[in-house]
A and B are shown apart, each in its own frame.
Chain A
């Protein structure tokens, strides 16, 4: 260690006379502080993603419902969805960074691999989209793919991540996202946006509420 050359005066000054009761109080306070400071604020992250789905997907659905024949979501609706996704990503990154600054080792490596997997997966689906157009896929196919493929990627990454985190809540969420992505297309090119909005947005809000009721983390 080399940081600082502070004095050692007082280092042991408070050691004398600490009773068992004092020690229990110190342990409880230190445990609570560590828990509060080193844990990511998940409710805020869940709420930000719930807004992406309920508001973003909801607005896209409003822009396409009743289209006969179906052509495409309105540009302004997709722009709002993109804006909400960017804000949610920013909130997620900021809150994760606040809690994990200074933490290194296995957890940090797992986090990096998780985010990299998600980014690569999403990049893949967004490259596939013009490829589908290129081979002549119709507007309906593109709409279902655009709405559901990010959920499929996020679900698979979450399920795979369970192997590292041993977190069965994350596993359950991943399986749910995969199920929604797989089935929501049956609602049609317009309905898929409404189904995804509700099937993902509402559970995210419920998870935020559940974490708050149980007490963070």
Chain B
């Protein structure tokens, strides 16, 4: 199996970190944009770019409430996103197993 089998939407360092971080939350929870930015360590612009790609794929859902200084943007993993991350993890595990024990951490 080659790395082509990995979901290209998730298979990028920043988006992988985003997906894993959001997956750490229980189902039904969301994370504010600023806290997510703090956890991932991206600039707002880069974070928006990556979130948009994930949102276009239906993996995350963003929601904006309030306006002005009270504006709050929240991000949550969708059921589809959680399933996609599980598939990605399974494929990754197969790739690492196929690479042999010497390649595994």
Interface size on A, residues (CB 8 A): 40
Whether the pair A1, B33 counts as a contact (CB closer than 8 A) is: yes
8 Å CB contact of A27 from B16, B28, B46, B50: B16
Q: Mark B41-52, 1 if CB is under 8 A from A, else 0.
A: 001111111111
Q: In the assembly, what is the distance between CA of A154 and CA of B67, in Å?
A: 39
8 Å CB contact of A14 from B6, B12, B39: B12
Which residues from A are CB-within-8-Å of B25? 38, 103, 105, 107
Interface size on B, residues (CB 8 A): 49
Asked if B78 CB lies within 8 Å of chain A CBs, one says no
Whether the pair B29, A105 counts as a contact (CB closer than 8 A) is: yes
Q: In the assembly, what is the distance between CA of A7 and CA of B52, in Å?
A: 14
Q: Whole-angstrom distance from the CB of A91 to the nearest CB of chain B? A: 22
Could you list 14 further interchain pairs (A-B, Cβ under 8 angstroms) beyond the known A3-B47, A5-B44, A20-B92? Answer: A1-B73, A3-B33, A6-B46, A7-B46, A11-B50, A20-B99, A23-B16, A25-B105, A27-B92, A31-B24, A101-B32, A101-B35, A103-B31, A103-B32
Report the 4 A-B pairs with minimum CB-CB distance, sorted nearest first: A6-B45, A4-B44, A102-B35, A34-B24
